[in-house]
Amino acid sequence: MGALNKKVRIMILSVLTVILSISFFGGVKASASTTIIPDISEWQGKLTSTQVSNLKGQVSFIINRRQYGANYQDKYATNNTNLYDQYGIPFGEYDYATFTSAASARNEANVFYQHSNKDAKFYVLDYEENDVTSGTTNAAVKAWYNQMRSLTSKKLVFYSYQSFATAHANTARKSFDAQWIANYSSRPTIQTDLWQYTNKKYVPALKESVDASTILNSSKPITWWIGGAQSEDVAQPTYFTDVVTSVKALKKIYLYDSTSFKKANRVVKVNAGTKVAVSSVHKRASGSYYFETADGRYLTANKNYVQ
């Protein structure tokens, strides 16, 4: 009986070993196949075609530095982002801010956009050092945002570490389409859509460790980040449902010659701050609303875009 029990125990242990081995190696495999969201700058060097080709299967998207303030362009930003394009890797670009005032912030935004790769899916303000000597930091951050919004309809993202964000941009950061927050010790306790959780994530294609992030906000999954321009009818919308005499654009929008709001039907660009006279409001079957002008053009009634 004792010998039989011993054999049974050995058989059970053998089965458990197999199960645990499968679970362990399955877990390792899953972990290895989980894609990374790294941020990359000239510190990772001038990437090669081989590196970027290998990166494609290892990342969800990349956030690449374009500049360090208005007076310094990242040495390899053009090379690296062109390779991302070539190998079909979605990416965003960031400006490491060194502005000193609201006027300086507007200039920095202009320079950033001028040099950026226009295939970027989104643009980031990396605000983690206080160089502001004139006016308030919140005013400077908001000036950067407003200037970028006048230049592009793509998503604008605010980045900082948690304590700096709350101390120096606690109001202005909330204007951005998303917030990317760094906190290596624990999950952030402020609004965070993308969490930079480590600066030591090993990337096999690069053969080195880099800063890496993960999605925290399920309403902004990977597809939100790599989808390009923010749609004028889907950004957590609340709508004007009654006609008004005019609205002011909060961001760059367009007048359309069709109610489908497709890119091909854009006829007039309306910059942020511009007023548009409207004559009627209409509701789609989907539940969204849009305005019509007296001359038969159409624009969004989404309060994220007009007020």
CB neighbour class for 288 (10 Å; exposed up to 12, middle 13-18, buried from 19): middle
- Angle at which helices 102-115 and 137-151 cross, to 10°: 30
pLDDT band for position 283 (50/70/90)? confident
Are 207 and 296 contained in the same domain? Answer: no
**pLDDT for the residue numbered 287:** 75
Whether residues 84 and 193 share a domain: the answer is: yes
Burial of 155 (0-12, 13-18, 19+ CB in 10 A): buried
Q: How many CB atoms are closer than 10 A to CB 294?
A: 9
pLDDT band at 230; cut points 50, 70, 90: low
Kindly report the average pLDDT of the chain as a whole number.
86
Same domain for 264 and 221: no
Is 216 found in the same domain as 170?
Answer: yes
**Quick one: pLDDT at residue 59?**
97
- Give the tokens for residue 71: 């007076």
Does 231 fall in a domain? no
- The strand ranges marked E within 69-215 are 91-96, 122-126, 155-161, 178-182, 194-203, 208-215
Where among 169, 190, 225 does a domain terminate? 225
Q: How far is CA 290 from the centre of its chain?
A: 26
What is the pLDDT at residue 116? 96
299's tokens:
């624009």
Give the burial class of 57: count Cβ atoms within 10 A of its Cβ; 0-12 exposed, 13-18 middle, 19 or more buried: exposed
The CATH number linked to 146 is 3.20.20.80
What pLDDT was estimated at residue 8? 41
Q: What is the mean pLDDT of residues 255-275?
A: 91
Q: Domain range for residue 78?
A: 35-225
**pLDDT (tens digit per residue) in 148-207:** 998 988 999 999 999 999 999 999 999 999 999 999 999 999 999 999 999 999 999 999
What is this structure's pTM? 0.67
Residue 229 has a pLDDT of 56
Q: Residue written as tokens 């609205």?
A: 247
Of all residues in the chain, what percent are helix, strand and coil, respectively (each to 5)?
35, 30, 40
The count of domains in the chain is: 2
CB 69 within 8 A of CB 96: yes
pLDDT for position 219: 87
Confidence of residue 235 (pLDDT cuts 50, 70, 90): very low
Q: What are phi and psi of 71, to 5 degrees?
A: -105, 5
**CA separation for the pair 124, 122 (Å, rounded):** 7
Kindly report, residue by residue over 1-41, the tens digit of the pLDDT. Answer: 444 343 444 344 443 333 333 333 333 232 333 589 999 99
The pLDDT score that the predictor gives to residue 12 is 42
For residue 10, tell me if it sits in a domain.
no
**Percentage of the chain exceeding pLDDT 70:** 85
Over residues 44-87, the pLDDT tens digits come to 999 999 999 999 999 999 999 999 999 999 999 999 999 999 99
**Both tokens assigned to 145:** 């945002």
Q: Tell me if 306 is assigned to some domain.
A: no
What number of other Cβ atoms are within 10 A of residue 249's Cβ? 22
- Please write the tens of the pLDDT for every residue from 97-114: 999 999 999 999 999 999
Give yes or no: residues 108 and 63 share one domain: yes
